[in-house]
Structures are given as structure tokens and as C-alpha cells.
Structure 1
Amino acid sequence: MSSVFAHIRFWEYNFASPHWLWLLLIIPVLLFFRYQSRKKSLGTHKFSRPVAELKAISFSPIRYVILAIYVLIGLGSAFLIMALALPSLPYSDDNQEEYGEGIDIILSMDISGSMMATDFLPNRLEAAKEVAKEFIDGRKGDRIGLVVYEGEAYTACPTTRNHSYLKTAIDNVEPGYLEPGTAIGTGLGTAVARLRSDSLKSKVIILLTDGESNKGEISPLEAAELAKNKNITVYTIGVGKEGYASMPVNTVFGTIVQNTRVSIDEKVLKQIADATNGAYFRAKDKSSLREIYKEIEKMETTKMVDETIKREPPYKPVSFLSYGLLFLVFGFAIEQFLYKNNA
């Protein structure tokens, strides 16, 4: 009950249909005619107590009671009219931005052998997996999927809101099960294909690699054109520090660790991002990779706010209806209690 009567300060309300408020001007006129009509129909007002007794105690309190009756009826009518005007509080907690169904995101992750380089701790791949899972935790309403690639690509997890399942799929990703190489175009093209025609309006691919494209039947720029035609935004991330990095290399004598020059095709990655209205980022350690994902998250959150679903304000006529009915009931009840019908 307290929530119903929480706000009586009607001047703090906005009204969606303010034209109803013109009816407030009629209330004094109607009350005047009601008083005159009541006076004519009843003649002399009769009360429940004897006339001699009423004279003894004076009539002045009765006049105040009659005035109170018409004030109550007037206020009750006014509150009902304001309820018709659809009141809403401008600071209402309910009046929040309402977003759409989220967005579709595909993480397209390079898992080639070079991703085992240790310039990121414990290595590039494990760092990329860890930060990707942190990113997923912040995207509660989004459908997110995972594509992984080396010399070929496959879908490790289709777009889903079951983020626990997706993170398990990320944990299970290991290099060495696909054809060796780095097929950036295939990784991007597979991600584009996973964003089906029934995907949500906003579609995003986050393409992560630490090298140059040297495999695949489709070039990175051809795949970028496919993404552009589907209105997919592609954010590209190059991972690897400047200069050389230690990475395991398979030889006839087994796996050895050697310093290898970090070679990322930043020109192509920038072209992919530019063609799809995305952005290119360079991550030189795990900390910078984490900041890149935070930046992407911020950019996509801003986009969602810009595309907010507009809705009607939360109307709150209940308090006005409650007060209106309460005042009218009290007013008419007191009137019936005091007045007697003429014989």
C-alpha cells in the first residue's frame, strides 16, 4: 500500500496527455452547480441531531464540514483527471534505456604453432584464451561463437548465449590438429559464414592472429569484402611483441625453442578493419591484449546505446487513481452521513 501512495507531489510529474488537464477548470463550476442543486432539492438542510441542540452548539462547525465535503469531492475529481493525463516521473527507476537482444559476435582465433611463443605468459594462445573468456563474461546478452584456424579453419562453437559451454570450448582448443600454416582469409571467411541470415542486426567478428597469411583458398581481403557485404564489423588484433620472440619449433630432432622474428601483416589487418568499419589493434603483451578487448567492449556497448529501443515512459496513474477514489468516497460518505432526505 505504501508504494501506491509513495508520490503525492503531483508537480514533479510529467503528463503524456496534458490536454486532459483542461478538465480541471470545470471542477469549480460543477461543484457550484451541485451545491445549488442540492440546496434546491433539500430545501433547508436537515441534520441528524435536534435543531435546538444544533443552535446551542452553533452552526459554524457544520459549515466547515460542508466546505470539507466539497473540497474532498473536488480533490477526488482532480486526481482522477490527472490519472487520465498519464502521469510519469522523469526520474523513475523504471525509465531506463532498454536494449535490443544483444549482438552476434564470432571470435576468430589463430591457433597455429607460432601462437605457442612465450612473449605472452605462459604463451600467446593461452593468454588469448584467458582474455577472450574475460571478454565473454562481460557480454551477458550477446550470442558469441568461436572459429579457430591454422592452415584451415573450423567452427569450435556456433553462436550461443550458453557462455559456459563456449568457455569450455575455448579451454579445449589446442594447436596441431589442423593443416599447418596461417590462413587468415579462411579464418575470417568461416566466421562470416557462421553469422547466418537469422543473426541479430549487429554482427561483429574479432579476428586475432600473430602472423601473415600463407595458406587458404580465399585471401584476407576477399573475406573482408564478404564481411562488408553482410554489414559485419571486423576488429583485427595482431599479437606479438616487436622484434624477436621465443617459440617452440618442430625439427627432426624434436621440438626446440628458438628466437624467431615476429612478423605480423599489419597492413592487411588494417585494410580488413577499414573495409568493415572496424579497427585494428596491436597487442604486445597480455596486459595490452586485455585493454584491447575492453576497448572493443566499450565500442560495441556505445553502439548498442545508440541503437536503443525507444519505449513509452512508465506511466504511474495508480497513486492518482487511489487518491481520487479515496477522496470521493470520503466526501460522499460524509455528505450522506450528515444530510437527511426530505420527507
Structure 2
Amino acid sequence: MFDYEFQNPEFLWLLCLLPVLGFWYYWRRKDSHPEIRFPEASFLAQSKFNRGALLYALPWVLRIFSIALLIVAMARPRNTEENNRSRSSEGIDIVMALDVSPSMLAQDLKPNRLEATKKVSTEFIDGRPNDRIGLVVYAAESMTQMPLTSDHALLKNSLNDLRYGFLANGTAIGMGLATTINRLKDSKAQSKVAILLTDGENNAGEIEPLSAADWAKEFNIRVYTIGVGTNGMAKTPVQQDGRGGFFYERMPVKIDEALLKEIANRTGGKYFRATDNKKLDAIYKEIDSLEKTKLKEIRFYTYEEKFGLFALSALGLFLLEILLRYTLLKSFV
């Protein structure tokens, strides 16, 4: 009834009494108004509309409707609005460690490795609304670009601002991983994940990558490693041109896949190789599927009571009946 639900629906059975009241009214009227025939008033019997009978019945119609509304009010009608909200029941903290050395400007991924990585990383962040995510960058040294945060808009702005050149040239994989572990080791999350991306070999830094991997294992941090670069040759920057750009030459792509695989194996993660944009996008989607946050759905119900509307309507009809019965229709009832 009007999309309402009833808190006490058993009272609606009382509506079955209304036809009984109507039948009782009919017999009461018949018994209280004996038929008297007047020859000169025979035209009234042929009338299709007996105004007097209708006016006599009107107070009783109002009475029955007021009783019906009162019964509905007793059944406690109400509107129900349902709202769903998801809450993380097993949190995941993720830190992305990105290589920002000049070789990340190589153009085997479009427009280059760094911009392609920023794009898929942004999409990855958008797909993890319930997780805290941080960002570490490294070249010959490493630094925390953004600590673990739930403010993904701020994180994406920081990611978008990444440029080459603010760290010394080189690739310190061990340093990048160690800084990532520092960001995760004190986390209280049920699952701690590092995503380490590079396009080269470890050639800088004071920390051995495998020592950092053992440290990650000690703190139950799972490391996914990604090697970025095509198989064979790639158009790679070799020298600055004096105008803020680079001279490019086709150079062999050298990625220490054995090292990256070992880091992943020691920590329970997985190694991936991204040879083009589609493959890089697929890798992040696979990591996303492997590290799904468990969600608990909570339902909230908002109730709006409507019995007052029906009770007031019943009272209004009852008062209207009394008013008509003792004023305008007094001569008919």
C-alpha cells in the first residue's frame, strides 16, 4: 500500500469488518424507512438519482472511511530507505617504489616509460579506494615522495608531479626497496605490499637488493617486482641537448631479471616484465586482483513513520461527518 511496510500488519485484518458495517447500514436504513407510496409522487420512483438517499448515506460513508484510515494507522505504516556502505575488514597497505632515473625516458613505451608508469599507477590507485597507499622514488638514491595515506587525490597529484633529474643518476634498487620497507614495517595492516618497478640493473646505493629483500621478508612485506622495457633495443636518452631535452640513441635494454625474480620469490611476491603499455597495464591489474581488500557490507535502514498522517486523516473525516450530520444534513439523517 503506497510502498509502505507495516510494523503491526495484523491490524489490517480489521478491514474485513468494513463490508459487514456497510451491510448493517443498509439493513438499518431499510428497516428505519418503511416504504410509503404516493400516487402523485410516482415520478420519484423513476428517477435515476435519489438525492435524499445519497445525502443520507454520506455521513456513513465518511464514518467507514475514517474507520478504515484509523485501522491503517494502527498497523503502523512507514517508509523504509536502505543504504549500503562498504567497510574494509582486512586492510592492505601498499607502497609503490618507482625508478625515476633518466633511462625511464626511453620511448619503447609511449610516450615514455615514466609517463606510462604514472598513468597505470594512477589507475591502480583509483581501483583501491579502501587501501592506504604510499609512494617512494629512487635513482642513485631514494626518498619518500608520499607516506602511506588514504588521501588518494593528494597521492595522485604527487605522482603526477614526478619528473626525472631531481635525484642523482643511477639505479639503486636496494635503496629503493629499503626505503619502501621503512614505510611499511610499522604498519598494523593485515597485509603489507611493495610494488618495485625498475628499467635497469642495480648500480648504485649502499644496500644490497637481496639484503633488503630478506629485511622485507622479516617484516612480512610481500614484494611484486616489475621490469619495464622492451626486448632488444630501445630509443634511450644518452646526453642532454642543452635545451632541457635529450639526444636519443637506440640502446640495448638491460634489466636484471634474475635479481628481480629472486626479490619476489624471497618475499612471496611475483615478478613481471612489461615490454609495452598494454603489458604494463595488465600487470597492475593482475597485482590488483592478487591483493584484493576484503570488504564487509553494512546496511543501514532509515524509517519514516506514516501512522500520524492516517490518524489525522481519520480524525478529519470523523469531524467532517459530525459537522455535516448536525448542520447541512440534519434533515436527512
| TM-score, length-scaled by structure 2 | 0.65
TM-superposed deviation, 1:76: 1.0
Query: CA–CA distance in 1 between the matches of 2:276 and 2:175?
Result: 26
Aligned to 1:95: 84
TM-superposed deviation, 1:339: 5.0
Moved more, 110-119 or 278-287: 110-119
C-alpha spacing 1:248/1:102, structure 2 compared with 1 (3 Å):
same
- Cα contact 2:201–2:256 (8 A) shared by 1: yes
Alignment-mate amino acid for residue 190 of structure 1: T
2:3 counterpart of 1:9:
yes
- Cα contact 1:150–1:182 (8 A) shared by 2: yes
TM-superposed deviation, 1:193: 0.8
Aligned to 2:300: 314
Aligned to 1:330: 313
C-alpha spacing 1:9/1:126, structure 2 compared with 1 (3 Å):
closer
Determine helix, strand or coil for the equivalent of 1:309: strand
TM-superposed deviation, 1:236: 1.7
Query: CA–CA distance in 2 between the matches of 1:245 and 1:74?
Result: 82
Segments of 5+ residues of structure 1 without an aligned counterpart are 1-6, 14-19, 33-50
- Cα contact 1:208–1:236 (8 A) shared by 2: yes
2:56 counterpart of 1:67:
no
Aligned to 2:173: 184
Aligned to 1:166: 158
| TM-score, length-scaled by structure 1 | 0.63
Query: CA–CA distance in 2 between the matches of 1:299 and 1:238?
Result: 18
TM-superposed deviation, 1:308: 1.8
Q: CA RMSD in A?
A: 4.3
C-alpha spacing 1:70/1:226, structure 2 compared with 1 (3 Å):
farther
Aligned to 2:243: none
Over residues 36-70 of structure 1, what are the superposed CA-to-partner deviations in whole Å (9 max), with x where a residue is unaligned?
xxxxxxxxxxxxxxx9xxxx647544443332222
2:251 counterpart of 1:264:
no
Determine helix, strand or coil for the equivalent of 1:95: strand
C-alpha spacing 1:310/1:116, structure 2 compared with 1 (3 Å):
closer
Q: How does 1:220-239 map to 2 (within 5 A)?
A: 220-239=209-228
Over residues 106-152 of structure 1, what are the superposed CA-to-partner deviations in whole Å (9 max), with x where a residue is unaligned?
22112345435443345434543454455556666655433222343
Query: CA–CA distance in 2 between the matches of 1:244 and 1:234?
Result: 28
- Cα contact 1:153–1:190 (8 A) shared by 2: yes
Alignment-mate amino acid for residue 212 of structure 2: A
Query: CA–CA distance in 1 between the matches of 2:141 and 2:302?
Result: 58
* Structure with greater strand percent: 2
Alignment-mate amino acid for residue 65 of structure 1: L
Segments of 5+ residues of structure 2 without an aligned counterpart are 18-32, 34-51, 240-245, 324-333
User: Percent of pairs identical after alignment?
Assistant: 39
- Cα contact 1:237–1:283 (8 A) shared by 2: yes
- Cα contact 2:264–2:271 (8 A) shared by 1: yes
- Cα contact 2:100–2:114 (8 A) shared by 1: yes
- Cα contact 2:234–2:253 (8 A) shared by 1: yes
Alignment-mate amino acid for residue 74 of structure 1: I
- Cα contact 2:85–2:297 (8 A) shared by 1: no
- Cα contact 2:14–2:71 (8 A) shared by 1: no
Over residues 201-253 of structure 1, what are the superposed CA-to-partner deviations in whole Å (9 max), with x where a residue is unaligned?
55432210123334544443443344345444433211111133354557xxx
Determine helix, strand or coil for the equivalent of 1:187: helix
2:16 counterpart of 1:25:
no
Alignment-mate amino acid for residue 159 of structure 2: K
Aligned residues: 283
C-alpha spacing 1:106/1:113, structure 2 compared with 1 (3 Å):
same
Alignment-mate amino acid for residue 315 of structure 1: Y
TM-superposed deviation, 1:190: 0.6
- Cα contact 2:15–2:68 (8 A) shared by 1: no
Query: CA–CA distance in 2 between the matches of 1:241 and 1:249?
Result: 17
Query: CA–CA distance in 2 between the matches of 1:315 and 1:126?
Result: 46
